[in-house]
Each structure stands twice: as structure tokens, then as C-alpha cells.
Structure 1
Amino acid sequence: MLLFTILFSLLFLTLYPSAWKHGGKGFYWVQLLRWVAGLLYSAWTFYVKLVDQTPEAMLANFAWIVAVSLLIDSLWLASGKWERRIGQLTSVAILLGVAYFLLIYPITIAQDQYEFVDAKVSKEKLEPMNEKHLPVVPREYAEYKIEKVLGKVKNYFFYDLGELAIQKIDNQLYWVAPIEYKGFFKWWQGDTVPGYIRVSAEDQRATAEVVKARMKYVPSAWLGENLYRRVRAQYPDVVLMNASFEPDEKGKPYYAVSYGSYEKYRRVRDVEGVILFDPSNGEMKKYARNKVPAFVDQVIPADVAIERNQWFGKYKHGFLNSLFGKRDVHIPTEWDEGEDEVIAAFDRSMRMHWVTDHTRDEEDAGSMVGYTMMDSRTGKITYYTGVDGLLNGSSAANVVSKTFKEKQWEAPAPILYNVYGENTWVLPVLDGNDVFRKVMLVNARDEKVYAYGDTKREALNKYQYAISTNLENDEATPTNQSEQKKEKGKVIAVYKDRISEENVVVQFLIEGNDKIFTVNSSKFPYAVFLEKGHKVAFSYLETKEKVVAVKTFQNESLDNKGKKKKDE
């Protein structure tokens, strides 16, 4: 870095040979000042920005310096007509080239950016999720808990929280936040940071805990102890992207620094793998994308996922179409400032994806046209079109606001999952202090079908019942997580709960089956007459849970008076 800093600082000096031949004392003082300015700019470029040491990077960062220097010096220092003219023409040519690559070139490659994404378009439903590992704790509540624990760390005033990220550790989902230095002087006084803090992303009642692991080389450290600076020193010619904090399955902390290269003259980032960095001793190893250790969840950074979603939605028919015709244009749902445009979600195999819904490029669009899932390790994107016309994430969040209007509770950015065969928005509900209050499930087909509870299990049980009894014209294809089954038998126990003047919830058991079956009298009026010993025939959603909701119901002991036809 030092050699590059000295060499490129020389570009700030006058480039006309005649000026050096005839210059006086004042000229040399000016050159000294320009060289100092060059040293400062070069140091900022190589030590602060940490740009990759490639020809393209040098051209992008220093070409304009040469052009401006030639142009200014041609007015005062060039000694002859031809020297002045050549210098001016050269500077104008360079400036025009810079202007082209900054203003015109990005327009010409818009469709190339779309094609680079190479998204797979699918009409299939989203893969069913694993209810056991449903992350109901939002970032805001996790940060609230983690900050409380940070205040108990020894010399806590030295430290601040790094960026929170959701991670899989030992097959459980956690929010993790590395502890960082609070500034230069705190780093100067300190030796190492004490570790990181984690809290369950699945259980809102879990407490945050400090995981002790002394880390010397972190992003907030300075000079030679800065993580990015050490990585750049060892790998000078690769494009460095964001570092993801990645504890392994035993909780040992690592940073996974995504690296790659540029295509289309530094307009398209191609992620080629990660540099796995041990913050305790500064050791690092470079892994190609298909060789990254299994515990690393994030190879593709979130900002790369965001830009690829934008390219895919806007540039199918080029740049001009994205502004005027807008044929086939759709955009990721935009959230309030500070909210993530893509959200980390985990499938049934506990594999991480960057997900977001897409809407029409119109104000106040309330429905989706598609939904993307990007594999955070491979970068492969699947665009699901089967959700076209369904409720988008912003509208689902509005359901929460309306439901809890008096309490003024809100929901952060939700995640779309396949729950019991239904596309469902999962929304944690927070109060004004970012404290968790409820978890809510909103059906994407019908916003009137929703359920909420104090716990994930309570919300899932209520939602299962809601979609069984309130979702009309149900054409959902049962999945291996929610298969519709038929059953008949003799009732051995009955429980009735009047939840309103018009509605009674009836739960019953039958011989040879340990499930608790639930019926709603608003849909099956004769269910209120169900008694122990009656024979019944019914269908229900098999979800491998103890409490299940009945879809169709017939009390055979009442001579078919209790019969309810199967839903269309």
C-alpha cells in the first residue's frame, strides 16, 4: 500500500516537462504542496477506501486527477502552443471518457445487469417452512435485549454493538451482534473486545447472553488491527465486500469477508467466495464459493441481493423502459428508511435465503406480482409468480396497525412463508419501545384471515383454525406439512367454549386418536349439540400437531342433521 500511495501521489504534480525546466522557487513550492495533497488523497484511497489494486480501480480513482491537472497547467505552465493544445485535448478526452462511464455507460448495460441475475421463474408454491424454527423475534426487539446486556459488560463504555445478523448456530436461529470499539481512543486504550452477544430468534422469552471470545482484529479497530485493512494487505487485487459475523456451530466467532471481481467496468459485482477471518489472531483463508464451510450462512451480502432484485425487476426491457413504458417492471417493496429491503429467511433445511416481495412500480400498490428468494450461499434467485395478486408485505403490516390501533402497536418488515399450505405473512408485533407483544400470521390470499398470540405456538394453533374455518373457496394444494385427511369415530370427550353470543368453539376427542379436534359453530351450527358417545365423520388438516382444525364435519348420531357439506 505504501508503494502505491507514493507512486500515485506523483500524478498530482505538473506533467509538462517544460514547466520543470523553467520553473522557479515558487513553482517548486507549489509542486511540494501538490505532492502533499497527492499523498493525502492516495492514502485515503488505499488506506481508508481500501480499493482493489487493479488497473480498472486505478483508472477510476486517478484518471480525473490527471485530466484536471493537465487542463489547469495548460493555462499557465505550458510553454508552447502545441504543448498547450495537446495537454488540453488530452484532458478533455479523459474528462469526456470519465463522464461517459459515469453517466452514459450505466444506461447501456441495464439489460446486461438483468441477464446477469439469471433468475429462475417458478409458478410453484413456496416450499413449506419448519414451524419449529420460525424466527418470530424481530431485529428491533433483539437489539433492545442485546443492548441491555451490553450495559453489564466490564468497561462497557469502551464498546458499542456491531451490526445485528440472524445466524444458524447448532441448528438454532440466533440474532448475533459482535461487540465493537466505540471510537479511536477507546480502541487505543483497550486491548481486545470481549466477544459477542446473542439472543434466540425463535423464542421471544429467551434472554440475551454474552459469549466470551477475545477478538483483537475487528472492523472498528484502527491501523493495523482493522479487519478490512489486514485482509486487503494479504489480498490486494480482489474486490472486498461486506463482512458477515459468522460464529461456527460451537460458537467460535469468525468474519466471512465476501470477495469477488467487477464486470462491466465496475458496475456489476460478481461474488466469488469468502475470506474466512479469525478475529482472535488475524489468520485468514480464502474459499471459493462452492468450497465455503457449511457453518457460513451468508456468502452473498445483503446489498448485493438488493441491487440484483432491483436489476431483475426494472431492466428486463432495458433502461428506458424502466422510466417510460414500464412493461414488465416490478420493484421490491420499499420500507421506511432504515428497514431492510431484503430479509434473511431460513427454509426447512435451515438454509438461508434473502427474500423480498415485488410490487408494481406504483404508489400505494397493495398486492404482490412476485416474490424472490436468493440462496445466500450460491446467489441463485428464484422468482415465484404464483403469488401474483396476493397481499404484499406492506399491506400485511397495515393489518397489524389496524388490529392494534388503540395500543399503537406496529410490525417491522414481515416474511412470507408457506404455513399449512398457505402463503402467509409472519409478523412480530412491537410496541412503541420496540418491545415484543404478539406474533401475528396474516393470510396473503385474504387479509381478514389472521391470527395472533403471545407465543409462536399459540399463533400457529389459532391460524390453523382460522384458515380451516374462515378461508373460503380454498383451493390450496395440501403439502407434506398440511395434508387433508378424513376420519370417523366415536366421541369420548367434549369441551365447549362460548367465545361470543354467536359463536361456540367445540373441541372433542375420538376413540383411537389422541388429537384434539376443533370445530366452530359459526360454520357448523349443529356442532353445539355434540355429546360424548356420538359418532362423527369429518376431515381435518394433518399438521403433526396435537390440536387440529376440522374442515368438514358430520354428526352421524343426529341423523345427518349436523351435516355440513365440504367446502368448495
Structure 2
Amino acid sequence: MFYIVLLSFIAPLLVWGGFIVVADQADRRTVALNGVWVLIPLLILKLMQTYIWLPSRNPLSLLGANLVWGVATLVALYLLCKANTDSHFGRALTLASGLLALLLLVVAGGEAHSIFSVKPVAKSIQSKTVSSAAAPTFKKGVTPVALSPKTVKNRMNKNMSDVPNSQYFHLGDIQAQYYHGKPVYIAPVEFDGFFKYLSAKQRTPGYFIIDATSVSAEPKFVKKSMKYTNASYFNNNAQRHIYQDYPQWLVADNSEPQLEVDENGTPYYIETTYKSMALSHRINYSKLHVIAINAVTGATKLYKLGALPKWIDEGITSDVADYMNTAYGKYQRGWLNMHLSKTGIQVPTNSEVISTFDQQGRVQYFTDFTNPRSDADSALGYSMINARTGQLVYYKTHGIMDSDGAKNNADNNYKAQQWKSSMPVIYNINGKATWVLSILDSTSAFRGYYYINAADQSVHATGNNANEAVDNYRQALVDSGASAGNTSGVKPKTISGTVARAVVTTKGDNQVLLFTLSGSNTVYTADGSDFQKALLTQSGDRVQIKAYVVNQKAVGNVEKFVNLNLK
């Protein structure tokens, strides 16, 4: 950290030296002493600023620091020497001003390059575009559907009494990961302020862990004394410790370290880092690295993104994923297009990604994109970012609502209860893009899942757990006339029998026949616009049908209908 301060003071030292050189022989001692009185306070200020704010350490930032402190030194030294000596410092002022002007040109050029040269940032993201038909398919009993982090935090907060001296602490951010092959959420216990930090002897007692997909799961507190955390102070702060051990590596997108635990339960803080270009702040997402700090011992280690240990699931932190989505959606055609014509521009609907678990045992960050110039709740597509490798897969869609539209639809269905939806994620169910949302009450307690067809908001269903909700949703698709042939648990059946009950009713602009068969409780639906003779059916008629019936459901949608009595 000290060498960063010294590298920031090369220009001030040159300015000071210039004043000493041009001063008269009799005044050089005075000028030298004046420089000491100017530089020491500035060095102290810079040291404090560096320690507290942990400024960027790339060459452009160091040149910028030289420019700022050089100007401060020039002004202070000139005024002090002019008042205390008989020497004239016009030449020193000219040389110093020229040096600082050159620095200004270099810094301004680097800053301009960082701001305007954004297209390479988007191109550095490992990405591919696929059709929405290739989107992750929901498989009953296989696809992990995570609880909302709000629900998890609510449950963990209720268990803070398990924490020794809990009055000193509060719950930190919720993180997703796999632990012993199972999807879990973890959250650190953090200091509740500086004086609580001192009272707790500068160590937190541990972290909480909970099954991420079980609606009845209870959090478990793991006792593990942690010295190096995000909430620690001075040299025990995780980010400051990383800053000191790896000064040449920069924090990606101003993100904070995230907690992860290895298979032994040892806690680490994970930071996504990179090395910038010499005279630019521009980031290259294809060359990211990861620094892990042991929260107990403080030991740090640098990894290439492609060579992470197996227990690190989020080498790309969620903050970095947010910036990647923004860069991918806005920077593809450069800065001018981003601000003027905006051709092809799309923006994330929400500012924060959602952590999901896929069927291959990976954490994926989800977000959907919308048109920045439109008030319509339509999604242009959505992305999944592999939290371990950083690969972004973009699923291109059309004619579906965005996550805000899905949340509004769900919220409207629970106005009376004043419950709210959370954590909207798209899955492919029955070949249909489907929003899956968690329903929470006013205390963030989990109340159920809400599934809604992303292209047709009239088709939706609820359930107390993910499997019940998907069964109800598949039945809603069948009732709406959607094809269900490609979905497990919804297979066509050819059935012959005698009509026990029959009634013709209206559905929208069409008439439909509702009927049951002798010996069965299933209510079948036949659309009169497809089968006109079905509307003439009476009790006692023999029929032969082909229908989709969701397993364990009492409603069937008829695809083929023949009334044998009317042949």
C-alpha cells in the first residue's frame, strides 16, 4: 500500500525538485524546508485516502493521482516560497505547469479511451446466442427451484438467537452455492458497527447455511470464528487484505468479495479481479482471475478463472454479472450507437441478477432484457451467466412479457392478501416459456409458487411446492388447448366408453362439451369448433376419444372425438 502512495507522488517530488533547482543559493534551504512542510501533510492525506478508499492501482489511476497531488503541491509551494524567499520561480512554474499539462493530456486521453472504447468490453464476454426453444427445460423432481433469498433471510433472522452474543451482529448477504452436491444458501454473520466489532473481539462467530430448494428447510448455524470479513475493520477487512496482498490486481466492477465455503465448511471470501490495460480502465472479461481469502487465517490465493478449485461455484460475483449483462446489452455496437441511434440496444429489466441452480449442478445468474425506449412489458430475451466460468448464454425471444410484467400479474392475483411475488425466473415447460415466481407475504414468509405462461398471462397456476405448481400449470396448459405432448406426465390416451354426464357450455366465443365416462371421475373437455357433433352428445352415447390427462388430475383435454352413436 505504501508503494502506491509513493508512486502517486512522483509529480509532486519533481515539482519540489524543480523549485529547489531554480531557487537562489541563499534560498534553497528555505525552499527545501517549505517543500517538506507541503509534502508531509499531502502524503498523510494520500495515505489516509488510500487506506480508507482503496483506490484503483492501474497506471492511469496512478497518473491521475500524480496530476491531482502535483497541482496541489505546485500551488501550495509557489505561494509559500513566494512569501518566504526573494527568489523568482517563473521558470520552475513554467516547467511544472508543462509537466502537469502533459500529465493532463495523458490522463484525459486514457479516460476518454475508457469511456468511448466500450465495444471491446462487450466483445470480451464469452457469449453465444441461442433460440428460446433451447432454454433450460423444467423437469419435475429434477430441476432445482430455489426459494427466494428474502424468505431465506427471514428464516435466518429468526434463528439469530443461535448466535453467541447475537446483539453484536446482523445477517450479511445471502449467497447461492453447492455444498456436498446440494444447492444451498449461505450467509455470514457480520458486525453491527465499529463498537460491536471491538466488543466481539474482532471476530464473527460463523455463518448460516440452509437447503435452497426445500420449502420447509430450516437454517443451521455453523460455528466458525472468522477474522477476515467484509464487515471487519482495519487490516481485517477482507477487501483491504486482498488489496495489500495483490496490489497489481484490480477489483472487477467495484464488486465486493462474496462468502463461499469449501467441502469442509471452511469459509472463504471470493473476489473477481483483473489486470487493466496500461492507460485505460477498460476491463477484459475474458481474462478475469479470482482471489480467495481464508476468512479464518487470512491466507490468500490467486486462481485463473479456468482453474478454480471445485468448491468455488461463483468465481464471477453477482456484482460483476450485473455489469456483464449491461455491457452485453448496451455496448455491442459502440458508444455512439449506445447514446444516439440505439440500434439493437437492450437493457436488463432489473438491476440485480437472480442466482439459480441448474440440473448439472452449477450456479447460473439469470436476468431478462427489455427495450429501453418502450413502456411495454415485453422481454427481448434473457441471459444465463455461468457463475463459475463467466460464459453468457443469451436466449432470444419474442412476444413474451418481461419479469416486471410477470410480477405485476402475480401481484394482482394476491391483492386481497397483499402478498408479493419475488425471484422471477424463466423455464421451458411444455415447450412454453414460463415465468416461475415465489409468492411471499408481508413478512417475506414463503406462501407458494406461481407459474405463468410468458406469452399468455391468462394461463397460470399455483402450488405449495414446485412439483405441485408445475402439475397444476400443465393442467392449465391442457385446459387452454395448448399441446402437452412433449411434457413428462402429460401423455395422450385413447379411451372408449359410455358418456355418464354431458353438458354444453360456453368458453370465450366457443361452445364446449364437458362430459364424464362411466366408471371415471375425469371431466373431459371437447371444443365444439373442432368437433361440431360433440355438441349433440347425450348421456348413454358411446364415444371414442384421444385426450391429454395430467397425472393425478381430474381434467382431460380432448384432441380427437368420435361419437359412435352419431356415425
Task: Give your verdict on TM over 0.5.
Answer: yes
Residue in 2 that maps onto 1:268 = 283
Report whether the alignment pairs 1:329 with 2:335: no
**Counterpart position of 2:330:** 314
Q: Helix, strand or coil for the counterpart of 1:428?
A: strand
From 140, 147, 154, the equivalent of 2:150 is 140
The answer as to whether partners of 1:517 and 1:548 remain within 8 angstroms in 2 is yes
Q: CA deviation at 1:165?
A: 1.3
The residue identity in structure 2 corresponding to 1:552 is V
Partners of 1:507 and 1:204 lie apart in 2 by 36
**Aligned counterpart for 1:167 among listed residues 160, 173, 177:** 177
Instruction: List per-residue Cα deviations over 1:230-263 (Å, max 9, x = no partner).
Output: 3333323222343221123454433222222224
- Give the 3 Å change call, closer, same or farther, for CA 144–220 of structure 1 in structure 2: same
Query: Cα distance 1:118–1:454, how it changes in 2: closer, same or farther (>3 A)?
Result: closer
Deviation at 1:155, TM superposition (A): 0.3
Query: Which consecutive unaligned segments of at least 5 residues does structure 2 have?
Result: 83-87
Instruction: Using the TM superposition, give the Cα deviation of residue 503 of structure 1 relative to its aligned residue in structure 2, in angstroms.
Output: 10
User: Residue in 2 aligned with 1:128?
Assistant: 137
Aligned to 2:210: 199
1:113-155 Cα shifts (integer Å, max 9, x gaps): 2322253121252021344344342122211111111144220
Partner residue, 1:294:
310
SS at match of 1:268: coil
CA displacement at 1:353 relative to structure 2: 1.6
Within 1, Cα distance between the matches of 2:518 and 2:329? 51
**SS of residue matched to 2:276:** strand
The answer on 1:253 being equivalent to 2:267 is yes
Q: Tell me how far 1:196 sits from its aligned partner.
A: 0.7
CA contact (8 A) 2:379 2:399 kept: yes
Measured at CA, do residues 60 and 94 of structure 1 come closer, stay the same or move farther in structure 2, by a change above 3 Å? closer
Superposition map of 1:483-502 within 5 A: 485-488=491-494
- SS of the aligned residue for 2:15 comes to coil
Letter in 2 for 1:278: N
> Which residue of structure 1 lines up, in the alignment, with residue 479 of structure 2?
469
Does the CA contact (< 8 Å) of 1:195 and 1:215 recur in 2? yes
Q: 1:357 to 1:18 in 2, by over 3 A?
A: closer
In the other structure, the counterpart of 1:108 is 116
Paired residue for 1:372? Answer: 383
Distance 2:314 2:182 in 1: 16
**Alpha-carbon separation, structure 1, partners of 2:516 and 2:302:** 58
Name 1:15's counterpart in structure 2: 15
* Equivalent position SS for 2:122: helix
TM-score by length of 1: 0.82
Q: Check the 8 A contact 1:417/1:425 in 2, yes or no.
A: yes
Deviates further, 367-376 or 107-116: 107-116
* One-letter amino acid of the counterpart of residue 45, structure 2: L
2:63 paired residue among 37, 59, 65: 59
For 1:37-436, what aligned pairs fall within 5 Å after superposition?
37-45=42-50, 47-51=51-55, 53-70=57-74, 73=77, 77=81, 79-102=88-111, 104-125=112-133, 126-132=135-141, 133-191=143-201, 192-241=203-252, 242-263=256-277, 265-270=280-285, 272-334=288-350, 340-385=351-396, 387-436=397-446
Q: Is contact 1:449-1:471 (8 Å) kept?
A: no
* One-letter amino acid of the structure 2 residue matched with residue 383 of structure 1: Y
- Residues 449 and 462, structure 2, Cα contact 8 Å, conserved in 1: yes
What RMSD, in angstroms, separates the aligned Cα atoms of the two structures? 4.0
Q: For the Cα contact (< 8 Å) 1:374–1:382, is it kept in 2?
A: yes
Q: SS at 2:37's partner residue?
A: helix
Q: In percent, how many aligned pairs have the same letter?
A: 24
Q: Equivalent residue for 2:470?
A: 460
How many angstroms apart in 1 are the aligned matches of 2:442 and 2:215? 17
Q: Choose 23-32 or 290-299, whichever is displaced more.
A: 23-32
Q: Please tell me whether the aligned partners of residues 509 and 517 of structure 1 are also in contact (alpha carbons under 8 angstroms).
A: no
- Determine if contact 1:540/1:550 at 8 Å carries over to the other structure: yes
1:36 and 2:41 correspond: yes
Whether contact under 8 Å (2:293, 2:299) holds in the other structure is: yes
Cα distance in 2 between the residues matched to 1:64 and 1:278: 36
Q: Conserved in 2, the CA contact under 8 Å of 1:166 and 1:175? A: yes
Q: 1:83 to 1:277 in 2, by over 3 A?
A: closer
CA contact (8 A) 1:414 1:426 kept: yes
**Post-superposition shift, 1:76?**
6.7
Residue 72 of structure 1 deviates from its aligned partner by 5.9
Partner of 1:337: none
Out of 397-406 and 15-24, give the one that drifted further: 15-24
Distance, in Å, in 2 between the alignment partners of 1:435 and 1:466 is: 26
Q: Which structure 1 segments of 5+ residues have no match?
A: 335-339, 564-568
Shift of residue 394, structure 1, vs aligned partner: 0.6
Change over 3 Å in CA distance of 1:540–1:54 after alignment to 2: same
Distance in 1 between the 2:518 and 2:54 partners? 67
In 1, the alpha carbon distance for the partners of 2:451 and 2:537 equals 28
User: TM-score, normalised on structure 2?
Assistant: 0.82
8 Å CA contact 2:347, 2:371 repeated in 1? yes
Q: Give the secondary-structure state (helix, strand or coil) at the position aligned to 2:213.
A: coil
**Letter of the 1:315 counterpart:** Y
What whole-Å deviation, never above 9, does each CA across 1:168-189 have from its counterpart, x for those lacking one? 2233322211111223332223
Q: In structure 2, do the counterparts of structure 1 residues 528 and 40 end up closer, same or farther at CA, with 3 Å as the change threshold?
A: farther
Q: Is the 8 A contact 1:322 1:329 kept in 2?
A: yes
CA displacement at 1:55 relative to structure 2: 3.5
CA contact (8 A) 1:330 1:358 kept: yes
